[in-house]
């Protein structure tokens, strides 16, 4: 499971050129009934690239992955995997789910060999090799119920790899694992990716996982890509490195501010009055919708001084909005 | 328990469940031989054993048992087979469900024994009537559980199977059937139990052979020992069928820790 650097170098030399699948997504739209999840998403992923997609729950990242896997129908726009629609490239793409989804009534090795056709002995040998790759050769004939969560995900990985996919889609496959097992699995996935050269798309909640694995980190908000950050750190990456931590912090900060930057909640305006008080001060802002008063701490005002007439953005948080009729508002 | 279990202790725990039945048998035997119990009401256990030996020696016992077992099993095969086939169809195809399920659910509410007068009118009192009653009674237990089993297969596993290139029969064999098997076997066990109940009633209507015929005949001649033997035979056969069903569960569902031996 742990490959030395020289072995990796040798494997990389062996790697067949263009083993990965190139992805071109053009104004992709997905609707579930009335609800639109993806709003004209554009994205290109190069062959062999490792892309991580982060975003809040419900932002559409898993939907995008399912569309890439050909599991759902697209509502508009297009996806091309090396020029072909996802349904046509089904044999080239494999998906790993958050839960391993092993068949409990098949042994580990039967699960790995699922969907393989051909000579029995040959299939068994291939499955054994795939299991050895994820370090579980000795558990081949056990029931999945006997394995730990991390081992089940490794079996699921072997099951995906046995088909020699050109595109591996990972839908938060490590989300349910403990921290240590997760880092182990990240190493394993990275090694196997370098060895096979497939294109990998990882959906994750965990920014540090994205930084550890990806060539590129994408942030999806409200069904659009709002951040496309290349990760130029050398591999294998250590979680403690300063550059690693700095990038992780940057992406995390961007992710946390998603709510505030929502375009529907902002009002551009100009500061017309600052009333300094203690401990709170009031800043009055003239916007297209009228005068808005923001209450800020006086301490915060000292740290980030504002000037009269400065152009600012007034942002709303939905939990502080009170609706009133016009008569009440006048009072 | 960490304490080492000694031989006498092990012996005791193996025998303990049998203490009560043995005591009851002994008390029964004693009260019969002392004369508290009339042999017309309840013959002594030894008399039942003697009746069993006599009937077995003459070959009569085997004839009756095999006729009954054959009736039960053929009825079970017909009813259970139809129930399985229709359950698989309605569970797998929405259109078949729309066409058939409501009608089947309506018929399900008829107690099979309520059909006896009609069945006698249709088929007379020979074998066909008995087979029909058993098949009818067994059918719904298997049908309902098969239908339910197919419907409750984890959709996430079906989706996974499809994304790994399974479809049609291979998806059925790898994912849907094994997923439904636990529920189907529950239906089979329930049906096996019900099979004997209906068999008993069907055999007491009228028969020329079988355990029911044997006991009804013995009643005419006040042979309470043979009547009791018949009842014990039903219990024994029922238990055998249950053991068989359990063995099937243990073999087919060994992946499931709830059924593992």
Query: What confidence tens digit (pLDDT) does each residue in B66-91 have?
Result: 988 999 999 999 999 999 999 999 98
What average pLDDT does this structure show over A108-114? 93
Specify the CATH number for the domain of residue A69.
Answer: 3.40.50.300
Query: What confidence tens digit (pLDDT) does each residue in B143-189 have?
Result: 999 999 999 999 999 999 988 888 889 999 999 999 999 999 999 99
- The answer to whether residues A172 and A297 belong to one domain is no
Residues of A with CB under 8 A from a CB of B: 69-71, 90-91, 94-95, 97, 99, 101, 103-106, 114-115, 143-145, 159, 163
Q: What are phi and psi of B45, to 5 degrees?
A: -55, -40
CA-nearest residue to A111 within chain B is: B174
Query: What confidence tens digit (pLDDT) does each residue in A21-49 have?
Result: 899 999 999 988 888 888 888 999 999 99
pLDDT of B157 reads 94
Q: Is residue B47 part of a domain?
A: no
Instruction: At A114, list the tokens.
Output: 């699922």
Q: How far is CA A322 from CA A262, A297, A319, A330, B252, in A?
A: 19, 21, 9, 14, 62
Q: Is residue A286 part of a domain?
A: yes
Give the 3-state secondary structure of residue A241. coil
What average pLDDT does this structure show over A182-209? 91
Q: Is residue B42 part of a domain?
A: no
Domain limit, last residue, from A260, A278, A295? A260
Q: Is the pLDDT of residue A265 over 80?
A: no
- The answer to whether residues A209 and A292 belong to one domain is no
Q: What is the mean pLDDT of chain A?
A: 83
Task: Choose from A109, A110, A115 for mutation: most chain B CBs within 10 A.
Answer: A115
Q: Is residue A199 part of a domain?
A: yes
pLDDT of B178 reads 93
Cβ-defined contact of B256 to A105 (cutoff 8 Å): yes
Cβ-defined contact of A104 to B156 (cutoff 8 Å): no
What average pLDDT does this structure show over A262-291? 79
Query: Which DSSP string do the residues of B81-97 spell out, in sequence order?
Result: HHHHHHHHHHHH-HHHH
Q: Is the pLDDT of residue A115 over 90?
A: no
What average pLDDT does this structure show over A246-258? 83
Q: Is residue B257 part of a domain?
A: no
Map tokens 């898993």 to a residue: A62
> Which pLDDT band, with edges at 50, 70 and 90, does A13 fall under?
very low
CA-nearest residue to B164 within chain A is: A115
pLDDT of A15 reads 45
Specify the CATH number for the domain of residue B217.
Answer: 1.10.3720.10
Nearest to B144 by CA among B75, B112, B96, B191: B191
Q: Is residue A141 part of a domain?
A: no
Domain limit, last residue, from A213, A241, A260? A260
Q: Is residue A36 part of a domain?
A: yes
Task: Choose from B165, B168, B184, B261 for mutation: most chain A CBs within 10 A.
Answer: B165
Q: Is residue B259 part of a domain?
A: no
- The answer to whether residues A246 and A303 belong to one domain is no
- The answer to whether residues A189 and A255 belong to one domain is yes
Asked whether the CA dihedral A102, A104, A109, A110 is positive or negative, the reply is negative
pLDDT of B136 reads 93
Q: Is residue A99 part of a domain?
A: no
Task: Choose from B149, B157, B164 for mutation: most chain A CBs within 10 A.
Answer: B164
Query: Which DSSP string do the residues of A32-94 spell out, in sequence order?
Result: ETTEEEEEEEEEEE-TT-EEEEE--TTSSHHHHHHHHTTSS--SEEEEEETTB-GGGGTTTEE
Nearest to A128 by CA among A116, A209, A66: A116
Asked whether the CA dihedral B243, B247, B250, B253 is positive or negative, the reply is negative
Query: What confidence tens digit (pLDDT) does each residue in A58-76 have?
Result: 788 888 999 998 888 889 8
Q: What is the mean pLDDT of chain B?
A: 87
The whole-angstrom distance between B91's CA and the closest CA on chain A is 20
The domain total for chain A is 2
- The answer to whether residues A180 and A254 belong to one domain is yes
Q: Is residue B180 part of a domain?
A: yes
pLDDT of B146 reads 95
Cβ-defined contact of B164 to A101 (cutoff 8 Å): no
Q: Is residue B82 part of a domain?
A: yes
Q: Is residue B211 part of a domain?
A: yes
Instruction: At A135, list the tokens.
Output: 């370090």
Domain assignment of residue A76, given as a range: 5-92+165-260
Contact predicate B228/B43, CB 8 Å: yes
- Burial (CB count <10 Å: 0-12, 13-18, 19+), residue B4: exposed
Q: Which residues contact B255 (CB under 8 A, 6 or more apart)?
A: A104, A105, A106, A143, A144, A145
Nearest-CB residue to A103 (from B162, B175, B254)? B175
Query: What confidence tens digit (pLDDT) does each residue in A217-237 have?
Result: 999 888 888 889 899 888 888
Who has greater pLDDT, B131 or A314? B131
Q: Is the pLDDT of residue A7 over 70?
A: no
Query: What confidence tens digit (pLDDT) does each residue in B125-135 have?
Result: 788 888 999 99
- The answer to whether residues A71 and A190 belong to one domain is yes
- The answer to whether residues A64 and A174 belong to one domain is yes
Nearest-CB residue to A143 (from B160, B166, B255)? B255
- The answer to whether residues A303 and A235 belong to one domain is no
Query: What number of C-beta contacts closer than 8 Å exist between A and B?
Result: 51
Q: Which of A154-158, B41-45, B75-79, B192-196 has the lowest mean pLDDT?
A: B41-45
Ranges assigned E (strand) in chain A: 23-32, 35-45, 50-54, 76-81, 93-96, 167-171, 199-203, 216-221, 224-230, 266-275, 280-287, 290-297, 311-315
Contact predicate A201/A169, CB 8 Å: yes
Q: Which of A105-114, A287-296, B180-189 has the lowest mean pLDDT?
A: A287-296
Domain assignment of residue B226, given as a range: 71-250
Specify the CATH number for the domain of residue A301.
Answer: 2.40.50.100
Q: Is residue A103 part of a domain?
A: no
Q: How far is CA A323 from CA A30, A149, B5, in A?
A: 33, 48, 76
- The answer to whether residues A197 and A314 belong to one domain is no
- The answer to whether residues A252 and A300 belong to one domain is no
% of chain B exceeding 90 in pLDDT: 29
Nearest-CB residue to B165 (from A71, A91, A105)? A91
- The answer to whether residues A271 and A252 belong to one domain is no
> Which pLDDT band, with edges at 50, 70 and 90, does A159 fall under?
very high
Cβ-defined contact of A105 to B164 (cutoff 8 Å): no
Whether the CB of B41 is below 8 Å from some CB of chain A: the reply is: no
The domain total for chain B is 1
Q: Is residue B38 part of a domain?
A: no
Q: Is the pLDDT of residue B259 over 90?
A: no
Give the 3-state secondary structure of residue A228. strand
Q: Is the pLDDT of residue A322 over 80?
A: no
Domain limit, last residue, from A260, A287, A304? A260
Residue B239, number of CB atoms within 10 A of its CB: 11
Nearest to A3 by CA among A191, A229, A129: A191
> Which pLDDT band, with edges at 50, 70 and 90, does A144 fall under?
very high
> Which pLDDT band, with edges at 50, 70 and 90, does A180 fall under?
confident
Q: Is residue A49 part of a domain?
A: yes
Q: Is residue A33 part of a domain?
A: yes
Q: Is the pLDDT of residue B257 over 90?
A: no
């Amino acid at each position: 499971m742990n490959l030395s650097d020289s072995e990796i170098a040798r494997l990389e030399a062996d790697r067949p050129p263009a083993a990965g699948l190139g992805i071109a997504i053009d104004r992709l739209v997905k609707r579930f009934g009335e609800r639109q999840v993806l709003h004209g998403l554009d994205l290109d992923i190069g062959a062999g690239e490792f892309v991580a997609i982060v975003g809040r729950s419900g932002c559409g990242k898993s939907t995008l992955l399912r569309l890439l896997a050909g599991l759902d129908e697209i509502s508009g726009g297009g996806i091309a995997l090396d020029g072909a629609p996802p349904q046509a490239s089904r044999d080239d793409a494999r998906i790993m789910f958050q839960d391993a989804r092993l068949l409990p009534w098949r042994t580990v090795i039967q699960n790995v060999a699922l969907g393989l056709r051909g000579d029995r002995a040959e299939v068994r040998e291939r499955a054994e090799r795939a299991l050895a790759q994820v370090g579980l050769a000795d558990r081949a004939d056990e029931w999945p119920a006997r394995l730990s969560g991390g081992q089940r995900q490794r079996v699921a990985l072997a099951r995906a790899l046995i088909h020699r996919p050109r595109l591996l889609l990972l839908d938060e496959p490590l989300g349910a694992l403990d921290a240590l097992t997760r880092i182990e699995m990240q190493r394993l996935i990275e090694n196997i990716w370098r060895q096979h050269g497939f294109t990998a798309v990882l959906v994750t909640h965990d920014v540090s996982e994205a930084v550890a694995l990806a060539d590129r980190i994408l942030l999806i908000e409200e069904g659009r890509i709002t951040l496309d950050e290349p990760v130029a750190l050398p591999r294998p990456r250590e979680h403690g490195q300063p550059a690693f931590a700095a990038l992780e912090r940057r992406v995390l900060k961007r992710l946390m501010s998603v709510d505030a930057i929502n375009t529907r909640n902002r009002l551009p305006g100009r500061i017309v009055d600052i009333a300094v008080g203690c401990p709170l001060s009031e800043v009055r802002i003239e916007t297209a919708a009228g005068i808005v008063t923001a209450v800020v701490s006086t301490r915060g005002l000292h740290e980030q001084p504002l000037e009269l007439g400065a152009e600012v953005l007034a942002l709303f948080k939905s939990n502080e909005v009170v609706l009133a009729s016009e008569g009440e508002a006048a009072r | 328990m960490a304490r080492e279990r000694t031989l006498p202790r092990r012996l005791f725990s193996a025998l303990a469940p049998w203490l009560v039945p043995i005591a009851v048998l002994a008390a029964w035997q004693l009260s019969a031989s002392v004369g508290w119990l009339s042999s017309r009401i309840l013959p002594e256990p030894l008399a039942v054993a003697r009746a069993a030996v006599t009937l077995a020696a003459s070959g009569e016992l085997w004839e009756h048992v095999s006729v009954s077992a054959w009736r039960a099993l053929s009825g079970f095969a017909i009813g259970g087979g139809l129930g399985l086939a229709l359950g698989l169809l309605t569970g797998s195809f929405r259109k078949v469900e729309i066409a058939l399920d409501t009608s089947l659910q309506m018929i399900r509410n008829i107690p099979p024994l309520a059909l006896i007068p009609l069945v006698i009118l249709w088929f007379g009192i020979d074998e066909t009537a008995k087979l029909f009653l058993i098949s009818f009674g067994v059918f719904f237990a298997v049908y309902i559980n098969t239908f339910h089993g197919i419907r409750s297969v984890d959709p996430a596993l079906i989706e996974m199977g499809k994304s790994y290139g399974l479809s049609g029969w291979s998806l059925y064999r790898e994912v849907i059937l094994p997923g439904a098997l636990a529920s189907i076997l529950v239906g089979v066990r329930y049906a096996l139990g019900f099979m004997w109940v209906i068999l008993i009633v069907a055999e007491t209507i009228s028969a020329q052979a079988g355990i029911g015929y044997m006991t009804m005949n013995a009643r005419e001649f006040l042979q309470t020992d043979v009547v009791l033997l018949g009842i014990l035979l039903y219990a024994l056969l029922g238990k055998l069928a249950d053991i068989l069903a359990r063995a099937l569960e243990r073999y087919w569902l060994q992946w499931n820790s709830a059924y593992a031996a």
